[in-house]
Amino acid sequence: MSKEKLLHPKKILRYSLPSILIALMMIAVTVLPYTESQPKPEPRYGGTLIVGLASEPPHLVLSGPPTWAFYQVVRQIGNSLVSFDPETLEWRPELAQSWEIIKEPDGGMTIIFHLVRNATWHDGKPFTSADVKFTYEQVAPLFNSFVDSMMKNYVKSIETPDDYTVIFRFKTAWAPAFYPGYFGGSGINISPKHLYEGTDILNNPYNTKPVGTGPFKFKEWKKGEYIILERNENYWKKGLPYLDRIIFKIIRTSPAMMLAFEKGEIDFIWTYGLAMSDAVALQEKIGLGQLPGKRVWFFPSPGGSLDVVGFNLHPEGLAPLKDVRVRKAIAAAIDRKKIAEVVYFNRVEALDTVVSSAPAVARYNPGVNQPPYDPALAERLLDEAGYPRGPDKTRFKIRLMIDSVSYPFYLKEAELIRDFLAQVGIVVEIVALDTAAWHERVFKNWDFDMSIFPFVHGPGPTFFIRYYTEKGIVRASWSNAMGYNNPAFNEKIFAAEFEIDREKEAQIVREALKILVDDQPAVWTCSRTFLAAVNLDFSDELEPGAWEHGMGTGYLNLEKIYWLKAPPKPEVTTIVRTEVTTMVQPGTTIITTVERPVVTTVATPVPTPTVTVVEVVPTWVYALIIVVIIVAAASIAYAIQRARKPRS
């Protein structure tokens, strides 16, 4: 055996470690000053953000816009009691600066909100606890199905012991209260009592010219063209907002929206109004360098949102849909993977069951699936249900109603569903409506056979209760328009909302969802992905997540968005001098001297600084790092040689 022993890592490390440590220290000392000295962003005031809006709102009620598409507008005008951390969905202070949550001995729950004391309405009136109480008792229930359900089923009373304290007393410990939709986010701002009290609330003129407490004030609404909001100079959050105005430009088709973004006519699009195909095309153009200064990106639905092809199961609904075999047949006839591929460019998940793999809902997976794509199974089930093909080879006709304006991609999805069902003898008539008309026909009138719903299924059991139980059967937006009502499902899912332990809650929900999947009140086709397109002249660096959640979800707002090209604000100097006037009263020798202050305001423009491009890390630093690496490598080579050298 050779006298030369195998090299041991410990030996090499012992000889080379001092040199390596010295090298690392040299790199750190050299580079650290450059990494730590980067200036923080300094926002500037001014600029107009133009947002593409796919459809005209039916109203601008602060406490209950019917869909996220319209919530983009009112979220900038009003404030909710709380906002949300977009990552954790934990409450953040808003009009409520703090709160207390008390579990009562009788099983009830009390939430005490302590309100900010400096908020005012855009007309100058002070914001108080009376506005909160009036909103939740009188205004919101008329427009917001979530708040309506909470007030009818769970809230025992609302008390206002003083102008800045609001106490919500719940009949029971109700966990969904802490999710979006009730005290913040997803369509709930506070409305002004002094402008609504004693009026016909449904037809109040301020429903279309809202007065809020938020960062931007309503200025003008030209029907069919635009809505203008202007900066609230007296916003209770001092120093905000940064933008002068936001203009919502109504653009009703996806190709027109895409072209407007390309030409710089709009600066921002949030999810609605831009088809997936057009968003992908914009991404490709940006990647090729054809649209400098712009960004398009996709981000996951925060609430496990998905496409739901729901059936009208109300007594007056289409007879064949009352038979679960027909509903299972339709599920088997729809190729969900093809929808994911053709409509969403495989950027979504084709669904086997009622929930996706999104973090908000994955724990609710019941472990049972809807029928796989199998046209032969669909044909057999339809025959068994008593709906054979007639002489014309068809079985029956269905109206499929969609919102093709806020969700332009639903038109392609509807066309695919029409073609899939035609293969098994079901004739589908596609009825494409704008957003307001779709809400009216589907949610208010229940005048449809099938519709594609962009339902959110989490977090928490709230949305399953809202969309699939008797409590949600109300003529209001985002409710159980399908009319599905199974007492066995109701009992289980109702139990989940009172379970504070999250794992126990998830187990209860899973058991309930097994019943739901077996009943097949809908076909759950694909998960949904959201998208955004922005002009990079506008920055969200002071509020990361504002582009994604300052619009539709309403977890945040756009108060901290600023325009990078805005000029610096002029320095305003106020000069006060005393002016002395001597007067002799007529016919007398009395001399009167009058002193009065004269105030002069001088605005001194701040010169635009010369922009000098400085390397973040100078070239000589890189050269030094290379030298250090060479020294370290030589040290290791020397250590290896020493380790091989036999001891004498």
Give residue-wise pLDDT tens across range 50-105: 999 988 888 999 998 656 677 889 999 999 999 988 877 789 999 999 999 999 99
Q: Is 46 exposed, middle or buried (0-12, 13-18, 19+ CB in 10 A)?
A: middle
Instruction: Flag whether pLDDT at 23 surpasses 60.
Output: no
Sequence-ordered strand ranges (E) for 436-570: 450-455, 522-527, 529-535, 538-539, 562-563
Top pLDDT among 174 and 125 is at 125
Which residues are within 8 A (CB) of 28 and not within 5 positions of it... i.e. 6 or more apart? none
Q: What is the reported pLDDT for 551? A: 79
Task: Name the H helices within 267-364.
Answer: 276-287, 324-333, 336-342
What is the mean predicted confidence (pLDDT) over 338-367? 91
Predicted local confidence at residue 256, as pLDDT:
96
Give the model confidence (pLDDT) of 100-121 as tens digits. 999 999 999 999 999 999 999 9
As a residue count, the chain comes to 648
pLDDT of residue 89: 78
Identity at 488, one-letter amino acid code:
A
Question: Is residue 606's pLDDT more than 50?
Answer: no
* Residue 607 pLDDT: 45
Q: What is the mean pLDDT of the chain?
A: 86
506 vs 364: CA distance, rounded Å: 6
User: Out of 140-149, 435-444, 520-529, which region has the weakest mean confidence (pLDDT)?
Assistant: 140-149
- Beta carbons within 8 Å of 196's beta carbon, 6+ residues apart: 134, 138, 139, 204, 206
**Residue 627 pLDDT:** 65
- For residues 57 and 508, the model is more confident at 508
The pLDDT of residue 185:
83
- Name the helix (H) or strand (E) containing 623: helix 619-644
Q: Is the pLDDT at 554 greater than 90, yes or no?
A: no
Percent of the chain with pLDDT strictly greater than 70: 81
DSSP 345: T
Of 415, 461, 467, which Cα lies nearest the Cα of 442? Answer: 467
pLDDT at 498: 86
pLDDT of residue 86: 80
Q: Please give the DSSP secondary-structure letter assigned to residue 568.
A: P
Whether the per-residue pLDDT at 630 is higher than 60: the answer is yes
Q: Where does 251-293 show beta strands of DSSP type E?
A: 268-270
Of 505, 502, 506, 403, nearest to 455 by C-alpha is 403
583: pLDDT strictly greater than 60? no
Residue 592: CB atoms within 10 Å:
10
What was the pLDDT predicted at 27?
Answer: 54
Query: Strand order of the sheet with strand 426-433?
Result: 426-433, 396-403, 450-455, 306-311, 522-527
Q: Which residue, chain included where needed, has tokens 């009562």?
A: 104
pLDDT at residue 318, rounded to an integer: 97
Give CA–CA dist 426/394, Å, rounded. 6
What is the pLDDT at residue 21? Answer: 58
How many H helices and E strands in the chain? 18, 22
Cβ-contact 76, 557 below 8 angstroms:
yes
Structural domains in the chain, CATH included, are: 1-38+570-648 (no CATH), 48-301+531-563 (3.40.190.10), 306-527 (3.10.105.10)
pLDDT of residue 601: 45
The most confident of 6-20, 434-448, 605-619, by mean pLDDT: 434-448
| Predicted confidence (pLDDT) at residue 602 exceeds the cutoff of 80 | no
What is the pLDDT at residue 35? 44
Asked if residues 548 and 532 have their Cβ atoms less than 8 Å apart, the reply is yes
Find how far residue 339's CA is from the centre of its chain. 24
Looking at residue 142, what is its pLDDT? 92
Kindly state the helix (H) or strand (E) to which residue 574 belongs, with its residue range: strand 571-584
Mean pLDDT on 575-592: 46
CA distances from 392 to 127, 395, 416, 611 (A): 66, 9, 21, 75
Of residues 374 and 175, the one with the higher pLDDT is 374
Residue 8 has pLDDT above 70, yes or no: no
Residue 618: its pLDDT value, please? 56
Q: At what angle do helices 9-36 and 619-644 cross, to 10 degrees?
A: 170
Give CA–CA dist 242/219, Å, rounded.
17
Predicted pLDDT of residue 91:
93
- The amino acid at residue 288 is L
Match 């796989």 to its residue by tokens: 372
Cα distances (angstroms) measured from residue 152 to each of 101, 103, 137, 202, 633: 21, 20, 10, 19, 74
The pLDDT, as a whole number, for residue 462 is 86
